[in-house]
Structure formats: structure tokens, C-alpha cells
Amino acid sequence: MFKEKMDLRLPGPVQVPKEIQMAMEKSFDHPMMDYRNPVFQEVLQETITKAKAIFQTKNIVIPLTSSGASALEAAIINTVGPKDTIILCVIGYFGEYLQGITDHIGCKVVRVEAEWGEIVDPEAVRRALKENPEAKAVFATHCETSTSAINNIKDIAAIVQETEALFLVDAVSSIVGTPLYMDEWGIDIVATGGQKALMQPPGLALITISDKAWSVIEKLQCPSFYFDLKLYKKDLESGVGTPYTPNIALVCGLLEACNMIERSGGIESEYKRHAALRDMTRAGVRALGLELLVNDSAASPTLTAVKLENADQFRKLMREEFHIALGGGLGKVKNKILRLGHMGYTDAADMLKMFAAMELGLLKTGHKVELGSGVAGAQRQWLDNPNC
């Protein structure tokens, strides 16, 4: 009956708040906003200025009309070339993604790895840099969305900063939900997408770049026309806008997301809210008697991976019976885990509803579960920390 009804408890895309939908619709008030006109240029400049708070940076924030992967690719092709050495921190599917990009370019890749569900030891990055002093860059995924583990970006950044290499970070599923202090920690490039904790429909990527990285980028001939970041910097700084047609509606949506974050108490309060959602989710999962993939010390505030055999059958039931979409496993953990998304437009009541439905779904798929146990576990945790 309810064909359109679906609660997205996914690791992205997430539900888009009404405020953001309205801001996007407003951009269609005119027959179509001329993106070179002063009205839009003002919106664009305000958006990229406010977006600095999201990255905790003073650097210019560049919007790209494409998904998150494009910002990862832009980070790499603007800083390293064929045959250059790059160190990749690989802890899951999205770490492999980075290798997909670097293989495409023909870089020499040095991998620093950890088992899926675990994180990279920063000292292993130090060793890799010592053994490969010619390395031009180190690239790490902040939140590995395939496992819900958070790499120790602060400590890795401190190690990379001691060298000439640049430190690039994939913050697609961590930005806003997880503390990340670009300038303070000394990260050179942060790349992200809009459809996660930024609560946008898909199609907008953001990238921001340190002075150290700009000095490398400025000396290199970027092999891509569209993703040549030098052009974006020049046009944005001179007030021309973006070099190519921007997605006007998504820029308006992003501005509203920045305003919403400001109104809610700022980025620090978003970190606290997401941490509370994580703790509530983990308490609920434990109370259900299910096993978490990641230890508390590395658990993401934006999503939670839970071990479950035949997870895809369970997800299908959750979609069809309860109109709740849960994330599934990627790559080698396909059908073996659930990924419960709690980023962006999510509150405590969303999680309680999810746990209540999960209890029924688990019973229907042959698991032993006490009705009310998951909900009660999450509720008890909320009483301890009602920050969400």
C-alpha cells in the first residue's frame, strides 16, 4: 500500500530534511537562476564560506558537481602522476576504491592495511614513509563505510606532516558526524560528498586543500580538464564562480545544511549528537544479542556494522514489511553484515523504531530474540546521554 514510504537507515544516501528540500525548491522560484548572476554568486560565496566550518579549516572549499568519488579522484590526479609512489591506508572496500583510482593512473602503490573491522596502526604509516621516502602522498579513508571503523587520522596526520608527502583524506562518510580538524591536525586535502551527514540528495562533492598541497598542485599539469582544481581556485577567488555550470539547487541545499548546523549549536554539537546516536545504536545491538564488527575505540558515529548471517534476506524483510532500508555488506562481507546508518537527519526516535522493527524481523527470520530488548537497550543508553 505504501509504495513511497521508506525510512532510510542507510550509510547514505540519507533522508533529506524538509528545510533543505525547501531551500532547493526556492532555487527554482525563477524560470531558472542564472548561475553567473550576482544573486547566485552571493549564495555560492556564502555557502563555501560557511562550509569551512564543516572541515574546520580556513582553506577555500571547492564544490564539484559530481559524487564523492570524483573528489577522491580529483585529490589524487591533482597531486600525483603515473609512476609516483602513493601510500594507501586500506581497511575495507573504500580503501580498495582508492587503489582503483591510483591503478587507473598508474601510480606505484604501497599499501598499509588492517583487517576489515580494524584500523591502520599509525606507526605502520611511519614505517612505510621511511621505507618509501620518495612517496608523494598518503591517502586514508576516515570512516571506512564498508566496516564502520574510523581510522586514527589525527595521529597519521602528525606522522605525515614530518615529511614532504601530502596527507589526503576521504571524509565522505565522516564529515559533520565525526571530529575532523583539517588545519589543527595538518591534513592537506579533505574530500567528501553531500549525501551523507550533510543531508543532501546525491550529486555534490566538496574538496578543500592546504597551502602545502596547493604548492604541489600549482606545479603539476592536471591530466583532467574538468577536475583541474587550479581553475576552481582561480574562479572562486576572483568571484567568477565555478568554472563550469554548478548544480544550483544542491548549492542552495548545502547552504541550508550549513545554516541548520549553525542553528543547532555548530559543528561541535553535531559531533556530540552523532556520538550519542552511535552509543545508542551499539547499546541496542548488544541488547539484541548481536555482535558488532568494530571495537568501541574505533566505532564510527555515522554508521554501525553488525554481524548477521543471511543479512540480505533480513534486509529484504525489513524493506518489505516495515519500509525500513538497512545497508548491507560490500565486497567480502556481502550478506554477512548489516550496516545501520545514523548520520544526518536521524534522531533517537528513528533508532527506537528501527530496533522495534528489527526485533520482529529477527523473530520472523528464525533468530531468538526477546521482544523489547533492543529498544530497551537503546532507551537505557539514551537516558545516560540524551544528546540525540
Ligand X SMILES: Cc1ncc(COP(=O)(O)O)c(C=O)c1O
State the residues that interact with ligand X by CB under 6 A. 12, 67-69, 72, 94, 97, 141, 145, 170, 172-173, 193
32's grid cell: 531558472
- Minimum CB distance to ligand X smaller for 78 or for 146: 146
Q: Whose CA is closest to 69, among 91, 97, 48?
A: 97
9's grid cell: 537507515
Q: Minimum CB separation from ligand X for residue 349, in Å?
A: 25
- Minimum CB distance to ligand X smaller for 48 or for 169: 169
State the residue for C-alpha cell 551499539.
282
Number of helices (H), then strands (E), in the chain: 14, 14
Q: Minimum CB separation from ligand X for residue 133, in Å?
A: 28
Region label for 45, one of left (φ > 0), alpha (ψ between -120 and 50) or beta (otherwise)? alpha
Q: Minimum CB separation from ligand X for residue 100, in Å?
A: 11
- Minimum CB distance to ligand X smaller for 20 or for 283: 20
Q: How far apart are CA 193 and CA 271, in angstroms?
A: 17
Q: Minimum CB separation from ligand X for residue 16, in Å?
A: 15
Q: Minimum CB separation from ligand X for residue 311, in Å?
A: 18
- Minimum CB distance to ligand X smaller for 12 or for 344: 12
Three-state SS string over 117-163 comes to CECCCHHHHHHHHHHCCCCCEEEEECEECCCCEECCHHHHHHHHHCC
Q: Minimum CB separation from ligand X for residue 301, in Å?
A: 14
- Minimum CB distance to ligand X smaller for 151 or for 381: 151
Q: Whose CA is closest to 373, among 362, 365, 385?
A: 362
In the chain, beta strands by DSSP E: 7-9, 61-64, 85-90, 108-113, 137-141, 143-144, 149-150, 166-170, 189-193, 205-209, 291-292, 303-307, 324-328, 337-341
Q: Are 306 and 342 in contact (CB under 8 A)?
A: no
- Minimum CB distance to ligand X smaller for 40 or for 227: 227
Q: How far apart are CA 48 and CA 63, in angstroms?
A: 8
Q: How far apart are CA 223 and CA 200, in angstroms?
A: 29
- Minimum CB distance to ligand X smaller for 11 or for 377: 11
Question: How many residues does the structure list for the chain?
Answer: 388
Q: Minimum CB separation from ligand X for residue 360, in Å?
A: 28
Q: Minimum CB separation from ligand X for residue 72, in Å?
A: 6
- Minimum CB distance to ligand X smaller for 69 or for 252: 69
Chain residue whose CB lies nearest ligand X: 68
Q: Minimum CB separation from ligand X for residue 380, in Å?
A: 30
- Minimum CB distance to ligand X smaller for 172 or for 180: 172
Q: How far apart are CA 9 and CA 327, in angstroms?
A: 7
Pairing relationship of beta strands 189-193 and 7-9 according to DSSP bridges:
unpaired
